[in-house]
Amino acid sequence: MSRIATTWISIGIAAAPGIICGEFAASSVVLHDKLGTICGRGHLLALVRDRGIYQADLDRTLAEFHYLAGTDHNQERNLERQSALTDLIANAAARAHARSEKILRREHELSLLRSQFRDDKTWRLALNASDLSESSLWRMLRNDLGSRQWISKRILPELDATEGECRRFYGSHLENFFVPERLRVSHLFLAAPPETAPEIVEAKHAAIEALSVQLAGGEDFATLAAQNSEDEATKLRGGDLDYFSAARMPPDFVAAALKLRPGEISRPIRTRLGFHILKLIDVQAARQKTFDEARNDIAIELANQKRAEAIQKLIDSLASPLVNPSRAFPSTSLGSRPAPLSILTRKPAICGRSSLGQSELLDCATAVFAGG
């Protein structure tokens, strides 16, 4: 045997115990627990593919949740701790599975994220306040996006609704597809809410009566609305409110509109909002939507239901058993429904502030990169 081969064999024999010890150390629950207490992270609560989750991780997650929700961290229940820990476990497992996902650095989206801050100084302050640099933010974001991509690949095949499923949903939820009577009305509006001073109310009343006289004399409704209406959203389109159901408008407004025939103009009326003159354009009778009309909405609803079920199944398969439940949930029994994967359920934070927390900044960045 050559000297080189003998040398490599010797190296391999010498290294083997170290490799074995390293593998043992990475997977050892006892060692992780001891290291956690020595490093100030508390006891080990779960071990997910060699990654430890400690009491400090759980406490930080709960503190961020209560801060964003504006609730009292001291009032949390064991059920909340269990839900948060299950969330941490599932997300750690998803990130571990997603390590092979290819996510390229996207300079355009990073620039778009930076542009949501007032200036470069505010952007830097937000990063510093979160103990992040652009590189570390990108690493966190890459992991987050990789996990989303991996999760989406796993659940996508389960989301399509069949024709039969859609028809069964339609037949059992007919009330969801009933369209009530809808009116299309234009109005000329002068604001006079309850807090308006009496002399202003009187002036508005006189003004609306004068406009009613002009309309009775043949003046064009759309022209007078554009010139005089105080409803800024509709005045430039002749006061047109488009179609609405009775539930969307004040009852006295609807009652006055129902007394008109299409094309007819009302006398001035007063609601809690102010004074109106109405012009009825059209009435659509109540009806039941056909299946074909409702098909797309049903498919979306069923896809959302299937998505929730698929994510829950994925959580159940990802969430590892707790190493020491008593340390996370003292004096309680386990068994509640796990939390949803936060990777898929984050809500975008308000970007642009220099005081964003780390989770808020990551949420904001993820929303930008995901097109949210």
155 three-class SS:
helix
Tell whether 198 and 138 lie within a shared domain.
no
Among 244, 269, 285, the domain boundary falls at 285
Residue 205 pLDDT > 60: yes
CA distance 166 to 317: 28
Contact (CB, 8 A) for 302 and 295? no
Q: Same domain, yes or no, for 185 and 148?
A: no
How high is the pLDDT of residue 25?
Answer: 43
Decide if 48 is inside a domain. no
d(C-alpha 237, C-alpha 345), whole Å? 40
* pLDDT, position 197: 95
The band of 14, judged by pLDDT with boundaries at 50, 70 and 90, is very low
The pair of three-digit structure tokens given for residue 238, joined into one six-digit string? 């002749």
Chain mean position to CA 339: 15
Pair (203, 244) in one structural domain: yes
Q: Which residue has the higher pLDDT, 250 or 98?
A: 250
Mean pLDDT of 139-152: 79
Residue 67 maps to a domain:
no
| Same domain, yes or no: 275 and 332 | no
In a domain, 292, yes or no: no
pLDDT in tens, 94-106: 777 777 777 766 6
Instruction: Indicate the range of 26-30, 52-56, 66-70 predicted with least confidence.
Output: 26-30
| Residue 8 belongs to some domain of the structure | yes
Range of the domain at 187: 181-285
The winner for highest mean pLDDT among 8-22, 54-68, 255-269 is 255-269
111 and 142, same domain (yes or no):
yes
What is the arithmetic mean of pLDDT over 202-221? 96
Helix (H, G, I), strand (E, B) or coil at 269: strand
Residue 163 within a domain: no
pLDDT mean across residues, the chain: 78
**Residue 322 within a domain:** yes
Q: Does residue 281 belong to any structural domain of this protein?
A: yes
- On the question of pLDDT at 13 being above 60, the answer is no
Global pTM reads 0.55
pLDDT, tens digit, 9 for 90 and up, residues 264-313: 999 999 999 999 999 999 999 999 999 999 999 999 999 989 988 888 88
Q: Where are the beta strands (DSSP E) in 181-285?
A: 182-191, 240-245, 269-270, 274-284
81-95, 116-130, 275-289 — most confident range? 275-289
Task: Give the model confidence (pLDDT) of 170-182 as tens digits.
Answer: 999 999 999 999 9
Query: Which residues make beta-bridge pairs with 52?
Result: 47
Question: How does residue 46 score in pLDDT terms, banded at 50, 70 and 90?
Answer: confident
Whether 147 and 213 share a structural domain? no
Q: Under a CB-based contact definition with an 8 Å cutoff, are residues 361 and 127 in contact?
A: yes
Nearest in space to 166 (alpha carbons), one of 25, 297, 32: 297
CB 79 within 8 A of CB 339: no
The residue behind tokens 């009302």 is 266
Both 213 and 277 in a single domain? yes
Q: If 0-12 CB within 10 Å is exposed, 13-18 middle and 19+ buried, where does residue 78 land?
A: middle
pLDDT in tens, 186-200: 999 999 999 999 999
Number of domains in the chain: 3
SS3 at position 245: strand
pLDDT for position 344: 43
186 and 281 in one domain?
yes
Is residue 58 pLDDT above 50, yes or no?
yes
Residues 200 and 147 in one domain: no
- Residue 166: what pLDDT? 95
Average pLDDT over residues 147-165: 85
239 and 318 both lie in a single domain:
no
The pLDDT of residue 356 is 41
The residue with greater pLDDT, 11 or 163, is 163
Are residues 249 and 344 part of one domain? no
The predicted pLDDT at position 76 comes to 57
Confidence of residue 164 (pLDDT cuts 50, 70, 90): very high
In this structure, is residue 89 part of a structural domain? no
From 101-115, 296-310, 319-333, the region with the lowest mean pLDDT: 319-333
Considering the domain architecture, whether residues 272 and 323 belong to the same structural domain is answered as no
- Mean pLDDT in residue range 304-323: 75
pLDDT at 362: 46
For residues 180 and 176, give the distance between their C-alpha atoms in angstroms, rounded to a whole number. 11
Report whether pLDDT(119) > 80.
Answer: yes
Query: What percentage of the chain has pLDDT greater than the value 70?
Result: 74
